[in-house]
Structure 1
Amino acid sequence: MTTVSTRTLSLGEVRALAKTVLVSAGMDASGSDLIAKIVTCSERDGPRSHGLRMLPVYAQSFSSGYANGAAVPKIEKIAPGVLRGDADNGYYQIAAAAARQELIALARENGIAAFTCANCHHLGGLRFDTEPLAEAGLVALAVINSLSMVVPQGGLRPVFGTNPMSFACPREGAAPVVWDQAASMVALMDIRMAAAEGHELPRPAGLDPAGNPSIDPEAILETRSLLPFGEHKGAAIAFMIEVLGAALAGGTLSVDNKERESFDALNIKGGATLIAIDPERFGNAAFGEYITRICAEIEGNGAARVPGDGRLKKRAAAEADGIEVSTGLLAQLDALAGV
């Protein structure tokens, strides 16, 4: 494995650096605050592939003119429990934050509510959109489709994006249960990080130029053909997210890359759906006890852990000790920030 020189940054320094890079790339004050926070939380909780390493991709989307750095999302109520958003060619997280309070109110009023959004970009973890809803006492499910690079089981070319999903629910006396995962075996940025750090992947995650499953990140990056997790089962999940994301919201299908290619961007203007459920309106007064019991059956069960809880240990360590960042990445980010 290649030895990588690093420097330790506090979370405050990570956020300040992210903010500077985003503003230098053309993002406005409010949008850059939100995305810088998400970048910092990714460095803090993981996966770090969605943290500082994502900043050059954000910057490219603005400098190329592909994304709107001063987007003003439009949110419209189109049914008693449905909000529809147009992100103004900006980042989805900004639109989701703008819709959050109304979505929470609609879920509490109706028992369930949904927010769909199109004309949006997304780079990062979806859990930052579900976790605030769980903190408000709601159950949340989020999906978004992305650039086609996942090959359907038995297929020869990519059809689906890594098509991430996130789930969150409140937990009595503790942080919410929150998990976030891609429909691919490994997220693209994790493969890029493995290539940058000079190590192989722990399991085959994509196809090499000969069409064989590979653990070599460089070979997978050459083909941009990733494998779905769980073989045909993961491909089915990716299909579902294509429907719930792009089709339901009216976003760009993962295979429609023409505009993206003209800007040499890493993402497409996909579609997102965020569903919020108020457990208090579903008739089970013991909902919280059920969650406690489920978690108790997992904890202490060998090496098992509640999905997403690994982030809490990472969070505590990062808050206490800071984050080690490669000096090569820092040099790249300083250049983008104009330092």
Structure 2
Amino acid sequence: MSTRINLSLDQVFDLAHRALTHNGMADDHARAIAEVITQGQRDECHSHGLYRVLVCVRSLRSGKVDPAAQPTLSQPAPSIVKVDAHFGYSLLAFQHGLPRLVEAAHKQGVAALVIRNCFHFSALWPEVEAIAAHGLVGMAMTPSHAWVAPEGGNRGVFGTNPLAFAWPRAGQEPFVFDFATSAIARGDIELHARQEKAIPLGWGLDADGVPTTDARAALDGAMQTFGGHKGSALAAMIELLAGALIGDLTSAESLTFDAGAGATPCHGELLLAFDPQRFGADDFEQGQQRAEQLFHAITGQGARLPSQRRFTARQRSQAEGVWVERSLLRDIEGLLT
């Protein structure tokens, strides 16, 4: 018998939604989270797909997350939108803040969305893609927990601190990248540990600060940054912009706040939106042509654009459904009993 089973995208959403609501998540939060989990599974981002249902339920059971918190919105300046998640998950807060962010960016040319006091587990590409769908250039960044050692160090200071960017393209998928400033997303190491697979050197250090291929040892020790000192500097920038600047927790403070509960990291998020038409004005069309020339210069020599594999997986999943490990399905179904 195959170790995997095929599910439609509707079945993925329904399973995630039922597991969340069964464990006490309010319906509006559960729908926002299940939608993004479905997107992750659809695009074959397995570390941010159905696996995250287990993480969300564990966080709910920790007692840290408010499962029914209603976000509140304010706009302290014409180009700054703030949403307080009140210690709920971030995705409903993002849904509340997105329309105001879009409106502000179109009016001002550039705008920021600040989400505070939120638990955040998801990839950032769904959020920057949602910004790009309005014809805006989008950026997003968050800290997490202090799992990542600075280059030259051996103890966690930074979070995985992802950075995402989306550039809208007429009539086709946007140019998108989303990457952790750690060598790999923590969820990928967790999946390797779950499947008892070795990890490559360069992903993590054991508790003694020694590079390791043991996934569980890396989870107990420290992760490493990508690109050495360059990734380390970008991680520090994100701590400053999406932590200190917006008045929310750094990754070290978030880990302290968790106090061993094992919940999803609690912190803030910073999103930026730029209106190409306001920036480009009379030169907007020429700017778009320059962008397309750049993309063609990349793909014309056989290289691929970031997220191209994900977009290909998206088309395949929409036509054929997705394949999910039976062991993962059993674990999720166990949350419904």
Aligned residues of 1:116 and 1:248 also touching (Cα < 8 A):
no
Give deviations 1:110-160, integer Å, cap 9, x for gaps.
Answer: 100001121101001111111111111000110011011010011121000
In the alignment, what sits opposite 2:290? 290
Question: What aligned pairs does 1:121-270 form with structure 2 within 5 A after superposition?
Answer: 121-223=119-221, 225-256=222-253, 257-265=255-263, 267-270=264-267
Q: Distance in 1 between matches of 2:207 and 2:175?
A: 39
Q: Sequence identity, in percent?
A: 36
In the alignment, what sits opposite 1:93? 91
The CA deviation at 1:203 is 4.5
State the secondary structure of the residue aligned to 2:300. coil
State the secondary structure of the residue aligned to 2:335. helix
Give deviations 1:235-290, integer Å, cap 9, x for gaps.
Answer: 0000010011111222211112233025332x332111000000101133222212
Aligned residues of 1:251 and 1:271 also touching (Cα < 8 A):
yes
The CA deviation at 1:56 is 1.2
In the alignment, what sits opposite 1:335? 334
Give deviations 1:73-105, integer Å, cap 9, x for gaps.
Answer: 111000110112211111112111101111111
Aligned residues of 2:155 and 2:209 also touching (Cα < 8 A):
no
Q: Distance in 2 between matches of 1:11 and 1:135?
A: 21
Aligned residues of 1:7 and 1:326 also touching (Cα < 8 A):
yes
The CA deviation at 1:164 is 0.9
1:117 to 103, 115, 118: 115
Q: Distance in 2 between matches of 1:222 and 1:89?
A: 26
Two-structure CA RMSD over aligned residues (Å) = 1.6
Q: Distance in 2 between matches of 1:290 and 1:320?
A: 33
Q: Distance in 2 between matches of 1:124 and 1:13?
A: 20
Aligned residues of 1:139 and 1:276 also touching (Cα < 8 A):
yes
Aligned residues of 1:118 and 1:251 also touching (Cα < 8 A):
yes
Residue 4 to residue 230, structure 1, CA distance change in 2 (3 Å) = farther
Aligned residues of 2:121 and 2:265 also touching (Cα < 8 A):
no
Aligned residues of 1:247 and 1:271 also touching (Cα < 8 A):
no
Residue type matched to 1:279 in 2?
Answer: P
State the secondary structure of the residue aligned to 2:259. helix
> Normalization by structure 2: what TM-score?
0.95
Residue type matched to 2:300 in 1?
Answer: G
The CA deviation at 1:334 is 0.4
Aligned residues of 2:154 and 2:205 also touching (Cα < 8 A):
no
In the alignment, what sits opposite 2:321? 322
In the alignment, what sits opposite 1:275? 272
Q: Distance in 2 between matches of 1:4 and 1:32?
A: 30
Q: Distance in 2 between matches of 1:139 and 1:82?
A: 16
The CA deviation at 1:20 is 0.5
Give deviations 1:187-235, integer Å, cap 9, x for gaps.
Answer: 1110111222233234420002442222332321232x00000000000
Q: Distance in 1 between matches of 2:112 and 2:315?
A: 33
Q: Distance in 2 between matches of 1:179 and 1:254?
A: 22
In the alignment, what sits opposite 1:102? 100
Q: Distance in 1 between matches of 2:179 and 2:75?
A: 29
State the secondary structure of the residue aligned to 2:267. coil
Residue type matched to 2:289 in 1?
Answer: E
Q: Distance in 1 between matches of 2:5 and 2:44?
A: 18
Question: What aligned pairs does 1:18-97 form with structure 2 within 5 A after superposition?
Answer: 18-97=16-95
State the secondary structure of the residue aligned to 1:249. coil
Q: Distance in 1 between matches of 2:84 and 2:36?
A: 21
**Corresponding position: 1:10 with 2:16:** no
Structure 2 runs not aligned, ≥5 long: none
Residue type matched to 2:332 in 1?
Answer: L
State the secondary structure of the residue aligned to 2:304. coil
Q: Distance in 1 between matches of 2:236 and 2:257?
A: 22
Q: Distance in 2 between matches of 1:117 and 1:29?
A: 20
Residue 4 to residue 193, structure 1, CA distance change in 2 (3 Å) = farther
In the alignment, what sits opposite 1:312? 311
Give deviations 1:276-307, integer Å, cap 9, x for gaps.
Answer: 000101133222212211111111323x2111
* Count of residue pairs brought into register by the alignment: 333
Residue type matched to 1:253 in 2?
Answer: T
Aligned residues of 2:82 and 2:97 also touching (Cα < 8 A):
no
Q: Distance in 1 between matches of 2:12 and 2:107?
A: 39
The CA deviation at 1:322 is 1.9
Residue type matched to 1:197 in 2?
Answer: Q
